[in-house]
Structure 1
Amino acid sequence: MEVVGTSRQGTSSGNGDASIDMEGLVKSIRKKLGKLSCPSSKCCIYKVPKKFKKINEEAYTPLRVSIGPLHHGKEDLEDMEEHKLRYFNDFMQRSGKSLEELVKIMEEMEKGIRECYAETIDFDRYKFLEIILVDAAFIIEVLLRHWFDDLRTPNDRIFSKPWMIYDIKYDLLLLENQIPFFVLQDLFKMTNIQAGFQFSQNETLPNPFILTLNFFMSFLQIQELLVPEHINPSEIKHVLDLLRICLIPKQSSQPPEEKIPSKVNQFIAFLRRFIPRQSLQQTERKFDIPSAIELYEARVKFEVSSSKNLFDIKFRGNVLEIPHTKINDSTERLLRNIIAYEQCHCDVHFFGDYTMIMDSLINTSKDVELLVQAKIIENCLSDNNDVSNLFNRLNKEVIIFSEEYYFTKLHKELNDFCEIPSHKWKATLRQDYCNTPWRVLSIIVAAILLGLTFIQSLCSLVSCNK
């Protein structure tokens, strides 16, 4: 008779199920535990969360070239692999290093490079090092050829076709298309590229930091790049991180004063981190301001700011000053990738906050039209509806951190202005009674008839007294 119970091989549940191989289960779990790697504090390159890709996957997907391991080998990008090897061959000759020496440089950096990726990279070390080396050399060659026109050849597939370099520039800004910036810096520093160029006295070859800024300076059409003096090139995570640092407000380098919140506030703050921005807007008035048209009806004037900083939005008196912004076909791709990077990595979400206030100001094409007339928005899209749709979609699924919201003071100032009784009365009058020429005309006619009726009644009263 079989005894139900334990044995060296396993146990039975007692209800007829197959026995469990305890030794095999323990061995399997231990094997998985042995493969676990400790999360690194250097992690800075992420896959875009699925909730963002669900809204617009194309905004996060490279068009021409894969950089790094996350998109390597995809069929749509295979055409550029041969050209990347040509660039690598030119870089190797320019560097004064042999192939073995370049591979050795990469081998020494492998552990640090892998730690920068949030996802486990499935490629073996040989393929991984090949991808990083070829892609890093490709980026350096692109930067050098952009700086030095004479390095370009007539058969260059990239620089001989303006649309190609345009696509590649945006591919280099995608969150999933990054390699650590220290790879470019170290590869640049450890090679002898400087010797291949003729410079005048006291002139040197710019480093990757300067070359990268120059590469994007004339291309980013959201605003002019402002290079903060406090940037430490060694602290730059990757190209997308560099662009974000150059675009955010300068004062962001100064840490805010620490506050010790109560236990209740800490718990509320914790819950808010899981509330989508859209739902919080519906429940918390702090993030609800009138649209541009509604502000205009409350006698707010819109003027383009002289500031080049995207975030330098000021409300003085009854004038709202907003920096000039150029909206084109690639604006959404850039904003979405910076916002995704902020959501995955950054403590303060400047671009999420910026798109939120623009979403508040822009509800319809009429709001866009008002901002275009004030020269605040330069619309390079097909029509104003496209701009309003762009800003209305950018904040979907974005998590808001209300305690650090950058435009809190501006929201309060605008709401306080609109709450003044005289401004509310004027806005209501314009919105409800004077929103079309025919209504204005009917009110004027009614006022005239009322005045004539009053005069007639007055004349009748006077004649009766006589």
Structure 2
Amino acid sequence: MGEATLGPNKVEYPTVEAADAALALTPSPGGGGGRSWVVEMEKTIGDMNIDPAVEMARWKRHSVYRVPERIKNLHNSKAYQPELVSLGPFHHGDPELLPMEEHKRRAVVHLVKRSGKPLREFVAAVAEVATQLLDAYKDLGEEWRGVDNRERFVELMVTDGCFLVEAMRMDALRGKVHEDYAPNDPVFSKYGYLYLWNYIQSDMVVVENQLPLLLLQRLLVVMDHDRYQQQFIWIGGSNVYGCSGA
């Protein structure tokens, strides 16, 4: 036995052989021995690079997070839910937000037609940074990941991004978008600006309901390269449009 002295008392530590013997008899949750966990962890410890700079780069990829359920339960859980429109994957498909999906698609049509560029250019620009956009969402489900789901994720990003650009344009023009939309448009009009913009704006800053700023950069540069390229040259792609945006 190895020994360590603490004051007048002696504490005996087990030998490595004794620890190995004890682990061999310890069942693991997966049904194997405890020793297999030690082997696996020792390999991880040996392989892992815990350079602070590397760790910082790893966590910097994330910019949109889920709110822990414990925090939601401590407060009004509805405060963490969008009321009118889902932006990004976390709340996509929520039944109460589905009526806005039609208007998102209309926003894509209007933005693309006004730009004079083909839709494929917008899709290609977003697809090129799809991995960075996926990484921006912490704890994103597997239904959005992998080769089979990449196209679906890019479609979501283009659709939601175009909607947000059109909504911000409506705000900048104070609802005077009648040259592109009908005067009685339910969303993109003076009516939409007066009655819906505040709800859209509130949903934009919900923690789980944000879009990476990199997405807007890619869409705007395709829309008007000369106007937006220099404005976004400093973006590293990790910020989001909303409460965490820079």
Aligning the two structures, in what range does the TM-score lie when normalised by the shorter sequence?
0.5 to 0.7
1:176 alignment partner, one of 208, 212, 227: 208
Give the Cα–Cα distance (whole angstroms) in 2 for the partners of residues 208 and 60 of structure 1.
Answer: 31
The DSSP-based 3-state class of the residue aligned with 1:138 is helix
1:57 alignment partner, one of 67, 74, 77: 77
Displacement of 1:156 after TM fit? 2.1
Give the Cα–Cα distance (whole angstroms) in 1 for the partners of residues 200 and 229 of structure 2.
Answer: 21
Matched, 1:156 2:176: no
Matched, 1:142 2:174: no
Displacement of 1:192 after TM fit? 3.2
Q: Is the 8 A contact 1:140 1:208 kept in 2?
A: no
Displacement of 1:76 after TM fit? 0.3
Q: Is the 8 A contact 2:107 2:166 kept in 1?
A: yes
1:237 alignment partner, one of 233, 236, 239: 239
1:358-382 deviation per Cα after TM superposition (whole angstroms, max 9, x unaligned): xxxxxxxxxxxxxxxxxxxxxxxxx
Matched, 1:130 2:159: no
Displacement of 1:207 after TM fit? 9.1
Give the Cα–Cα distance (whole angstroms) in 1 for the partners of residues 204 and 229 of structure 2.
Answer: 19
Q: Percent identity?
A: 27
1:80-121 deviation per Cα after TM superposition (whole angstroms, max 9, x unaligned): 000110011001112222122221111101011011111133
TM-score w.r.t. structure 2 length? 0.65
The DSSP-based 3-state class of the residue aligned with 2:159 is helix
Give the Cα–Cα distance (whole angstroms) in 2 for the partners of residues 146 and 127 of structure 1.
Answer: 29
Q: Is the 8 A contact 1:95 1:193 kept in 2?
A: no
The DSSP-based 3-state class of the residue aligned with 2:140 is coil
Q: CA RMSD in A?
A: 3.2
The structure-2 alpha-carbon separation of the partners of 1:95 and 1:40, relative to structure 1 and needing over 3 Å to count, comes to: farther
Give the Cα–Cα distance (whole angstroms) in 2 for the partners of residues 64 and 52 of structure 1.
Answer: 22
The DSSP-based 3-state class of the residue aligned with 1:175 is coil
Displacement of 1:233 after TM fit? 5.8
The structure-2 alpha-carbon separation of the partners of 1:86 and 1:50, relative to structure 1 and needing over 3 Å to count, comes to: same
Number of equivalences: 184
Aligned to 2:6: none
TM-score w.r.t. structure 1 length? 0.36
Q: Is the 8 A contact 1:94 1:192 kept in 2?
A: no
Displacement of 1:155 after TM fit? 2.6
Give the Cα–Cα distance (whole angstroms) in 1 for the partners of residues 225 and 97 of structure 2.
Answer: 29
Structure 2: state its 5+ residue gaps: 1-24, 26-30, 45-54
The structure-2 alpha-carbon separation of the partners of 1:93 and 1:208, relative to structure 1 and needing over 3 Å to count, comes to: farther
The structure-2 alpha-carbon separation of the partners of 1:180 and 1:140, relative to structure 1 and needing over 3 Å to count, comes to: same
1:87-106 maps to which residues of 2 (within 5 A)?
A: 87-106=107-126
Structure scoring higher RCO (CA < 8 A, sep ≥ 6) equals 2
Aligned to 2:4: none
Q: Which moved more, 1:91-100 or 1:146-155?
A: 146-155
Give the Cα–Cα distance (whole angstroms) in 1 for the partners of residues 88 and 231 of structure 2.
Answer: 17
Give the Cα–Cα distance (whole angstroms) in 1 for the partners of residues 185 and 68 of structure 2.
Answer: 36
The structure-2 alpha-carbon separation of the partners of 1:74 and 1:208, relative to structure 1 and needing over 3 Å to count, comes to: farther
Segments ≥4 residues shifted beyond 4 Å: 204-209
Matched, 1:119 2:139: yes
1:11-410 maps to which residues of 2 (within 5 A)?
A: 40-54=59-73, 55-121=75-141, 122-123=143-144, 124-148=149-173, 149-152=175-178, 153-158=182-187, 159=189, 160-161=191-192, 162-192=194-224, 234=235, 237-241=239-243
1:263-302 deviation per Cα after TM superposition (whole angstroms, max 9, x unaligned): xxxxxxxxxxxxxxxxxxxxxxxxxxxxxxxxxxxxxxxx
Give the Cα–Cα distance (whole angstroms) in 1 for the partners of residues 242 and 198 of structure 2.
Answer: 16
Give the Cα–Cα distance (whole angstroms) in 2 for the partners of residues 78 and 233 of structure 1.
Answer: 35
Structure 1: state its 5+ residue gaps: 1-12, 14-19, 195-203, 210-231, 246-466
Displacement of 1:127 after TM fit? 1.3
